[in-house]
Amino acid sequence: MSPASEANITDPNNRDLTTGQIIHGYRILRMTQLREIDAVLYRLEHLATGARHVHLSNGDMENTFGVTFKTVPTDSTGVAHILEHTVLCGSEKYPVRDPFFSMLKRSLSTFMNAFTASDWTMYPFSTQNRKDFYNLMDVYLDAAFFPNLDALSFKQEGHRVEFDHGDAEGNGEKLVYKGVVYNEMKGAMSSPDQVMGRSLLNALYPDTTYSNNSGGDPAVIPRLTHEQLVAFHKRHYHPSNAYFYTYGSLPLADHLAFIEQKVMRRFERIDPQTDVPAQPRWKDARTARYTYPLAVGEDPAKRCQICLAWLTSDICDTFEVLVLSVLEQVLLGNAASPLRKALMDSGLGTALSDGSGYDADNKDTLFACGLKNVADEAGEAIEKIIFDVLTELADKGIDPESIASAIHQIEFHRKEVTNTPYPYGIKLMLMVIGSWLHGGDPERILQLDADFERLHREIAAGKFLEDRIRTYFIDNSHRVRLSLVPDQQQAQQEDLRVQQELAEKLARLDAAERAQIRQNAIELQKRQEAQEDASCLPTLALEDVPPEVQSFSPTETASGLPLWSYALPTSGICYLNAAAGAAPVSRNLLPWVPFFCYAFSKIGTRRHDYAQMARRIDAATGGVGLSSQARVLYGHSGSCLPLLQLSAKCLSRNIDPMYGIVEELIGEVDFGNLNRLKQLLGEYRSALETMIVQNGHRLAISLSSKTFGPASALSEMWHGIDQLKTIRTFGEPSDEGGMEALSARLMDISRQIFSTDNVIMAAIGENESVTAARRRTGNSPVLSRFKRDPLDAKFPLLNLAVDAPSPYEGWGTSTAVAFVAQTTTAVDFRHPDAPDLSVLSKILRSLYLHREIREKGGAYGGFAVFNPENGLFSMASYRDPHIVQTLKVYAGAVDFVQSAPIQEADIHEAILQVCSEIDKPDPPGPGARKAFFRWIVGLTDEDRRSYKANLMSVSLKTVRTVAAKYLAPGNTQVGIAVIGGREHLEAANGQLGQKPLTLYTI
């Protein structure tokens, strides 16, 4: 579909705008109707400064703003990343210590954040409230263009040295590095997947900005000076280097007038010199070798990653980017894809290497593939497998069904509207930003019809994709074979290097420099502890909070069918969701339920093997999967409702084949292919191991709460470190007997789950889709046998035995930072104290933990979370250089709430934070699915409205009462769990004295 002519463009939000028009200092360069996403795209340029602006106008009330700057570092000091943090530490109009985090408390935003990529930095937000939109835009614009960038903020967010004064007598005085970004990147560079991603860029782009670690290499970060940071801002954060984006239902003219008034009138055009050149292409392929830290206690055998990576097309060539996206899907997209299948069938590794696939985020795009958990010497064998597959495909041709399936997958995911992991308006911005920054056309990214038409013509004319395989892979000499190998001495050597570096710094300090370091520390502490007047920041009143909650009601429940129907506008997509109770599963099989879910749609059936099923799923659906949930039945405090959720989705034309796939999986799943089962076990284990450092705070919270009721115990069994321990009981499952036993367990789980009265379903889509789904369900011999009244949501509860002692544990793994969690028992959603506990969590996070753990302690984040479903209250830290100090902060939480000068205005801001989470909107498909599962766990819309209404009566007095009631020592059960490096944990135990953590190894 070609773009509509301007005469045919209709936009009720902006009725009087035309191409060429000059409005508030901007010229409208182009208007494009994007029918597939029901939007009008406006491209504009600011005449005086050259700032670019894209606006997507549609009916979405969740309006989005973002400003992005090309940031092109020339070293690995992390200047772009540290600048992203530091600009949010106060600005000209808003000279408070932390306006960004303060606005989290004063807003109903559905999203607020900032991102640093390899060659850009972005500041986006979304909100449904017009007043909130302009409040936030004012703060964001002032922060980005007019930040204070003072030296103390640089030291807090970037890096600094402080004295560690040793013992009470001052013996052993030394210097230590501190800083939020410094500690964040120490944590990031402990994670093999992060190291792999940085290494690929360094190896493939040695002559451009991508060779540098834009986040910052901890070994290099301390070289960055405050003066360099300020200079980087002056050149990069300028309208001439800025790309503005707005989205939603608000009028464009209002946005432009606001930006012109707040920013543009104060600047003139410059040449920021931020264009990224193409990487010069190599004449010969190369090899590269990098290392990552592995704990001394872990087995280094087969812990390498080896991949091949190529530079491919320019990011602005939308057709070639589409071609490579199709090739990625053909080669690696599912278990039957020839390159993925050959690599996995080799048995050399357990999963595809981190970074595998097509990456279209950089000026020159890249493609990579390989294996992880391989032996160091496997490089040549892996390279041979890859080239054998590519050569065979180029010579003999690609299966036409694989091509059709790949194109279908791209079509489906372009069409689907979701808000995961970001609001839809931000997802569209992230989709276009890379190409736009390098001179591409945003509308081409969002309207690929001409490229799809050309692709179909080229494929029909001959071996087009086969020729592209030769061009981009077989004959492309800009290729590297990269090995990432474990080094069990790396962490210790780095610690020694840092100690030596700091000792040398200490020896060179004169008296004046020592005094300055001490003075800086005192001034920074004073700033962090000072009570600020944040009244200059805009805010919303509680009256701005709408009383309603978003809800979705079924349009029909079928008598005699276990099916709910939701007729909703879903952009031509049909969603089928099902819930099954897991309480019938035998106790000895319960730990294996998550792996059963993982393998369910990947293992094959009695009629089709896993490769055939993978092809069918990709050809007809947007995905079919099963997941496990350890829920609590609302109104039954302390209960455990274990559920499995089956999810399938397809374009409306594919309802029949999608149903056929679901029916076959439920009725005929077959875990008898032991080789495939072994592959899946290896993939699953690898994903769990990667999760440890990525989501350490969540895992620590799970460990700290595992004895507080059957739902918490089951959640740890299914989704925590206990799940990894369960999988590791198999070690390296090479004996056929062990795999046969696992196969039998999984078949038993299937029989116990899919019994005749244990499943209920929901179909979501347009009227025609749900009608077809109801007909298909009634005619299905597999699905219609679930003889369940659709209005009966009562699945059996699980009476799971729980260990008695509260956790007080440390879990050792390969990481340079820690994740520290403390959980206490509280009350659930329907208790009168629940709204106060929600508000208390926001007060603690924003007024106490953020200051003590992030600003003072240098951790990436400190969190307080109240879970109203299971009635638990947790505090946690993320990428934290401290353990004992953080535990002391948790212990001081009650005293802070009781004695700190908290105001009723702080309570109001905390209520706004809770309401912003409640009010985050969902598109119809995901929203109806959530409503269906709320009904199953007994949470009504009236409960939700009542809870929201009760929030409005929370006061400082009631918050202090619940803080003393639930957080004071001795009043409730307390569990503590820390994930960190073994040496870090042992050092903490040395300080904890009479009550050390019980130490375990992950």
Per the structure block, which two tokens stand in for 783? 């699905």
Pairing of strands 998-1001, 808-812: parallel
Find out whether 218 and 198 touch, Cβ atoms under 8 Å: no
List alpha helices for 603-695, DSSP H: 610-620, 655-668, 674-694
Angle at 640 between CA 637 and CA 645, to 5 degrees: 130
Strand-pairing partners, residue 480, are: 286, 309
In angstroms, rounded to a whole number, what is the distance separating the alpha carbons of residues 747 and 757? 18
- Please report where in the chains the tokens 């930040």 appear, as a residue: 147
In angstroms, rounded to a whole number, what is the distance separating the alpha carbons of residues 198 and 355? 10
Backbone angles phi, psi at 459, to 5 degrees: -65, -40
- Enzyme catalytic residues: 84
Helix, strand or coil, per DSSP, at residue 159? coil
In angstroms, rounded to a whole number, what is the distance separating the alpha carbons of residues 595 and 718? 9
Q: What is the DSSP letter of 605?
A: B
Find out whether 490 and 292 touch, Cβ atoms under 8 Å: yes
In angstroms, rounded to a whole number, what is the distance separating the alpha carbons of residues 347 and 325? 27
Q: Is 230 exposed, middle or buried (0-12, 13-18, 19+ CB in 10 A)?
A: middle
In angstroms, rounded to a whole number, what is the distance separating the alpha carbons of residues 676 and 602? 9
- Please report where in the chains the tokens 């929030």 appear, as a residue: 951
Q: What is the DSSP letter of 797?
A: P
- Please report where in the chains the tokens 């409702």 appear, as a residue: 641
List alpha helices for 779-872, DSSP H: 834-843
Find out whether 579 and 933 touch, Cβ atoms under 8 Å: yes
Find out whether 603 and 671 touch, Cβ atoms under 8 Å: yes
Radius of gyration from C-alpha coordinates of the chain: 28
* 309 Cβ neighbours under 8 A, 6+ residues apart: 200, 203, 204, 355, 366, 367, 368, 479, 480, 482
* 451 Cβ neighbours under 8 A, 6+ residues apart: 318, 319, 322, 444
Angle between helices 982-992 and 884-891 (to 10 degrees): 50
Phi-psi region of 529 (alpha: psi -120 to 50; beta: other; left: phi over 0): alpha
* 744 Cβ neighbours under 8 A, 6+ residues apart: none
What number of residues does the chain have? 1002
- Nearest Cα neighbor of 86 from 70, 104, 98 is 98
Q: Provide the residue type at 702 as one letter.
A: S
Q: For 970, what's the count of Cα atoms within 13 Å in the CB-facing half-sphere?
A: 0
In angstroms, rounded to a whole number, what is the distance separating the alpha carbons of residues 71 and 237? 8
The secondary structure element, H or E, covering residue 971 is none
Residue 124 CB neighbours (<10 A): 24
Distance from the first to the final alpha carbon of the chain: 54
Backbone angles phi, psi at 819, to 5 degrees: -130, 115
Find out whether 877 and 861 touch, Cβ atoms under 8 Å: yes
Per the structure block, which two tokens stand in for 701? 């919270």
List alpha helices for 189-310, DSSP H: 192-204, 226-236, 252-262
Helix, strand or coil, per DSSP, at residue 569? coil
Find out whether 342 and 389 touch, Cβ atoms under 8 Å: yes
